[in-house]
Amino acid sequence: MSQIDDVMDKLNGLDAWMQWSFGLALTLLTVGIVRFLMRKVLLDFVRKTSFEWDDKLYAPVTKRLYLFIFIAGILLTMTWVLGSDHSLVESSDPFFQAIFILLSTSLVSASFKVMIPVIMDRFSEPSSVTVSGSNSLIIFLARAVVWFGGLYLAFSELGIELFGVLASLAVFSLIIGLAMQQTLGNIVNSFMLALDQPFEVGDRIEVEGKMGSVVSVGILSTKILTHEENLVVVPNNSLVNSTIINHARGGGDGAGRRISLVQDIGVNYEEDIDHVKFTILTLMRECPYIIDKPEPRVLLIELGDFAKIFRMFGWVSDYTDEFVARDWLLKNLDENFRREGIDIPYPTAVEIAAQSAPSVNTHRKKTSVRTARMKMIKEDKQLAKERASAKIEIENITERLKGSDLDKKERVMLEEDLRELNSVLSMFEAGGED
């Protein structure tokens, strides 16, 4: 103890500028030691864990900790050099206390930003559509409450009444509010969008005749990137009052990005129906972009003026592959039709004097037609059987959902099965709409 007292006496006997230099050097040394320990001990531990939230929380916590130590070192150095009863120390003490309060508030706010999504994902119920992220409105309100409390305490340390400041700004705020009515409406509606969550960034939506992927949801507007790489800016006021079609949600069995691919094709009246249907169906089953369940189907939907119109029904696992899948189908459909001798009618103003030679061997085409007809009879019987079975299963599930003896897990599973069965029937009961 005597050695420590001797060291303290020597330090107290130094000049003021030496004491300031020693205090600042000791503060920086402390920050360096803490930073070394945080990086070598805590950071290694954080990287070894399987959680993501501690990785996100490390940077904001450590930065504020270093700043807290540095400011505390300056305060202690000032108190040591000048003395606790010095006028400068007493006058500056409220400012330091306010800074400490704001740093603590900032730390709690950053923790809320990271931890609230983790907590919400942990306790949220599973749904048919996977929704990434959490409710941004809850995060905003929680952080707003924290900051309001922190500012209130910080202003109180400085002798300023926060409520008095807000009251004095009430009239001015009213004037600003009337002048910015449209802007404030966009801000309020952005909170409504965050609360309802009709879409998220990355979803493909259709609004006011514009279709594209949501690239950002701002406080004033929502930005949509169309297929033509045009950026459409929709004010949140218009967005709330419009009908939004979200193509990234609503898929059966939780496949939110799944989309139906519907394509019409016309052939000559001389072509055999079963031959055409079997050729198209075989090609759809070979397409790498079309999924197996629900199964692709081909239906004759119209006997037009110049052609028999067939409609292809299929499902693409991700809506971003829709145009690639359609390109693959049309390209290979043209090649297969040529190979099978199936003609696609088109208007012509040229009078053909002599009969052109058939492009495909007649005997070969007759054989393909007979084979396709036999296989399509089996396909039609299987289709009718599946549709009848699906309808019976839908009725059974609907009756079971009416009961009150189901637990939550069983009810969710039954609802998923019901959506899947309805998606199978929806392709054939769409009323002929694409």
pLDDT surpassing 50 at residue 431: no
Residue 247's nearest CA partner among 191, 179, 314, 199 is 199
Distance CA 127, CA 324 (A): 30
State mean pLDDT over 113-139: 58
DSSP conformation letters of 2-40: HHHHHHHHHHHTS-HHHHHHHHHHHHHHHHHHHHHHIII
* Whole-number pLDDT of residue 133: 37
Q: Are 266 and 345 in contact (CB under 8 A)?
A: yes
What's the average model confidence in pLDDT over 374-380? 73
Please say if the pLDDT value at position 310 is more than 90: yes
Both tokens of 263, joined, read 């394509």
Average pLDDT estimate for 347-375: 63
| SS percent in the chain: helix, strand, coil, step 5 | 60, 10, 25
Dump the DSSP string for 200-255.
Answer: -TT-EEEETTEEEEEEEE-SSEEEEEETTS-EEEEEHHHHHTS--EETTS--GGG-
Residues 6 or more apart in contact with residue 195 via CB below 8 angstroms = 135, 137
DSSP designation for 116? H
Q: What is the CATH number of domain 252-347+361-426?
A: 3.30.70.100
The architecture (CATH level 2) of 176-246 comes to Roll (2.30)
Q: Is residue 231 very low, low, confident or very high in pLDDT (cuts 50, 70, 90)?
A: confident
Q: What is the mean pLDDT of the segment spanning 195-210? A: 79
Is the predicted pLDDT of residue 316 greater than 80, yes or no?
yes
Q: Which of 119, 149, 151 lies closest to 135, judged by CA? A: 119
Residue 331 CA to residue 338 CA, distance in Å, equals 11
Residue 309's pLDDT band, with cuts at 50, 70 and 90, is very high
Q: What is the pLDDT of residue 352?
A: 53
Predicted pLDDT of residue 98 = 87
Q: What is the pLDDT of residue 432?
A: 40
The residue ranking higher by pLDDT, 363 or 179, is: 363
Does residue 25 carry a pLDDT above 80? yes
Residue 126 has pLDDT above 50, yes or no: no
Res 351: pLDDT: 56
Q: How confident is the model at residue 214 (pLDDT cuts 50, 70, 90)?
A: confident
For residue 175, what pLDDT is reported? 57
In order of 23, 127, 252, 406, the CA distances from 400 in angstroms are 75, 19, 19, 8
What are the sequence ranges of the domains in the chain? 2-174, 176-246, 252-347+361-426
Residue 48 or residue 362, greater confidence: 48
pTM of the model: 0.43
Taking only the tens place, the pLDDT of each residue in 245-293 is 887 765 544 455 677 888 899 999 888 898 999 999 999 999 988 988 8
Tokens linked to 253: 């069995």
